[in-house]
Structure 1
Amino acid sequence: MLPGMLFIFAPLVVGYLIQTSSSILLARINRATNYLIFVILALMGLSLASLDNLGQNLQLILVYVAVFSICIGVSNLVALPIVDKLFPIHVIGKKNKLPLSRMALESTKLILVVGVGLFVGTLLTIDLGWVDITSESVLFLLLFLIGIQLRNSGLSLRQILLNKQGMIIAIIIIFTSIIGGIIAAYILDIGLYQALAMSCGFGWYSLSGILMGDAFGPVFGGASFLIELVRELVALVMIPLIIHSRPSVAIGYAGATAMDFTLPIIQTTGGVRCVPVAIVSGFILSLLVPLLMLFFVSLAEQIA
């Protein structure tokens, strides 16, 4: 319901109202956010362990991941070349190889954390009913800190509005991802609003997995987490290969991660002219992930 959505979204809004110039405080917030992500992913693993028919549910998660990744990815990649054609970016970066294995290792760590939580949960004989309440509490704190991070990211509204390419890329990712979600809902025969919520993660694997898990249970949470993690891993490989010929495609497919995790590889291989485009598109998508996901979650709950 709408009150439930506002209750979840409130910590993000409150955090966004807080502005600070203290680099020390922001560094501590960044560290705390990273720690909380690991905590919630471990709790997600515990939630998966408490499921009945665990093996069958894990197979279902993988099916969701495959269908959503293909539907959303194809939809994104069909439309993004239009931006390159209409609004070309002059790429001046070097065609050098980055330590992709090291970056991929960071993503692999996240999967391992979920796996450890799943393994520990299968060994425990105690009731795991406390996991959902704990996850929700940690989620509120995480959203609050994320709100502070977004407010103090250094981007003003004027900077966002003036970067036409970044805005257009973000808009295309939003609409094509929604189209991909509609197609996936039809293929998988699941609720439309559930599918639309899952399609609006835009690469933000930690938050999307947490929100979907809190709303619809560990199966949807685990699937959402892996869907967005797959996007990030594909982007790490794709960016160096195509950024010189299709920079908007490379930046757009990176989704919300274009402003943080994949930004170094975008800057190194695409040059400084790609950086403001990547930051603006990534910022817009990051800001809209919780808003759009919670909006579609509320619609799904009203129908249920």
Structure 2
Amino acid sequence: MDFYLIVLFLFTGILLGFWLNQDNYFVKFADLITKGGLIILLLAMGASLGSNNQIVLQLGEIGFQAFIFAAGSIIFSLLAVIVFVKIFGLNNLLLGADPAAEAEVEEQGTGKTMTVLIFSSVIIGILIGYFLLKGNEQLWLDSLTNYSLALLLFGVGIDIGASREIINDFRLLGWKLLLIPVLIAFGSLFGALLSGLFFGFGAGESAAVGAGFGWYSLSGVLISKLHSAELGSLAFLSNVFRELLTVIILPFVSRYFGSLATIAPGGATTMDVTLPLVKESGGEAVVIPAFVSGAVLSTLVPILVPLFLNF
């Protein structure tokens, strides 16, 4: 989805939510829409992946390598943010909240029912795409994904605007807000370098794959044009895996590592596709930091990928 449309839907929702009271019926209804729409989005994402013949064919050739690259990038991004949270004492982000409020956020982020629904939706979507769709449905799947995402971002924005305590969280983070994507970028690159070393890739090639930060469409195309189709395919599939793994592991990340850590796995996708899931797992307070992080990382992709390929 276009960056300006993302901003439009998200911040229109924020303004509307700020104008409404948190106990307003429409605000509560928006939360239900967000959760229901999230399931539709995940089903559409899974179906899109399952019906993509390019992805299916590449699984047998470079699937294991791509998975290791994705897992390495996620692990070290997550470690970087966890250390950051520990150093600055931002364990649950909502430091000003009372114990009951923190318990509510934790329950929201780690509910077993939502975890099962998230995982099941992705798997069912992939199976539907693989067995029932022929690949020519990609256009309407993309449209369904975009419409679902637009609705979700609007609902997420309403939840943010209606949560007055988020202003205090911004004051708490301050300059640290911009440090989060920097740490995620370094973690992603380090994880990719280690993965590439294991498979015998050059440092520049490995870093270029990691510098996709989950944006598989752009990174795959750039690397294919600037280097080779083989490395471009690896980058494409690796970043597809990063997005898919993010969808699956976010509820567990929130439970064991805190709300801020949910920003790390998705990389650039926390600006759009995985943003509703970050909100669902980590709470409203992490949405704006996640959006900023995703926007910064998305900006870095077309800069860093060509840079590393020239090494």
Tell me what 2:43 maps to: 38
Specify every segment of 5 or more residues in structure 2 that has no aligned partner in the other structure, as ranges.
197-204, 221-235, 264-274
Do the aligned partners of 1:170 and 1:252 also contact (CA within 8 Å) in 2? no
Do the aligned partners of 1:193 and 1:299 also contact (CA within 8 Å) in 2? no
Structure 2 counterparts to residues 68-107 of structure 1, below 5 A: 68-84=73-89, 89=95, 93=99, 103-107=111-115
Please report how far the alpha carbon of residue 72 of structure 1 lies from its aligned counterpart in structure 2 after TM superposition: 1.2
Q: Distance in 2 between matches of 1:150 and 1:101?
A: 14
Do the aligned partners of 1:45 and 1:115 also contact (CA within 8 Å) in 2? no
Q: Distance in 2 between matches of 1:157 and 1:262?
A: 17
Matched, 1:195 2:210: yes
Please report how far the alpha carbon of residue 99 of structure 1 lies from its aligned counterpart in structure 2 after TM superposition: 7.8
Q: Which amino acid aligns with 2:254?
A: A
Do the aligned partners of 1:212 and 1:220 also contact (CA within 8 Å) in 2? yes
Q: 1:67 aligns with which of 53, 69, 72?
A: 72
Q: Distance in 2 between matches of 1:221 and 1:39?
A: 14
Question: Equivalent pairs: percent with the same residue?
Answer: 11
Q: 2:190 aligns with which of 156, 179, 183?
A: 183
Q: 1:224 aligns with which of 229, 232, 243?
A: 243
TM-score using structure 2 length: 0.62
Q: Distance in 2 between matches of 1:17 and 1:101?
A: 23
Matched, 1:111 2:119: yes
Q: Distance in 1 between matches of 2:154 and 2:217?
A: 23
Tell me what 1:10 maps to: 4
TM-score using structure 1 length: 0.63
Do the aligned partners of 1:72 and 1:177 also contact (CA within 8 Å) in 2? yes
Tell me what 1:165 maps to: 172
Please report how far the alpha carbon of residue 70 of structure 1 lies from its aligned counterpart in structure 2 after TM superposition: 2.2
Q: 1:136 aligns with which of 142, 165, 181?
A: 142
Deviates more, 1:251-260 or 1:62-71: 251-260
Specify every segment of 5 or more residues in structure 1 that has no aligned partner in the other structure, as ranges.
1-6, 199-207, 239-249, 264-278
Tell me what 2:154 maps to: 148
Structure 2 counterparts to residues 241-252 of structure 1, below 5 A: 250-252=258-260
Do the aligned partners of 2:51 and 2:126 also contact (CA within 8 Å) in 1? yes
Please report how far the alpha carbon of residue 294 of structure 1 lies from its aligned counterpart in structure 2 after TM superposition: 3.4
Please report how far the alpha carbon of residue 120 of structure 1 lies from its aligned counterpart in structure 2 after TM superposition: 4.1
How many pairs were matched up?
Answer: 257
Do the aligned partners of 2:82 and 2:261 also contact (CA within 8 Å) in 1? yes
Do the aligned partners of 1:213 and 1:219 also contact (CA within 8 Å) in 2? no
Please report how far the alpha carbon of residue 188 of structure 1 lies from its aligned counterpart in structure 2 after TM superposition: 3.5
Q: What is the RMSD computed on CA atoms of the aligned residues? A: 4.4
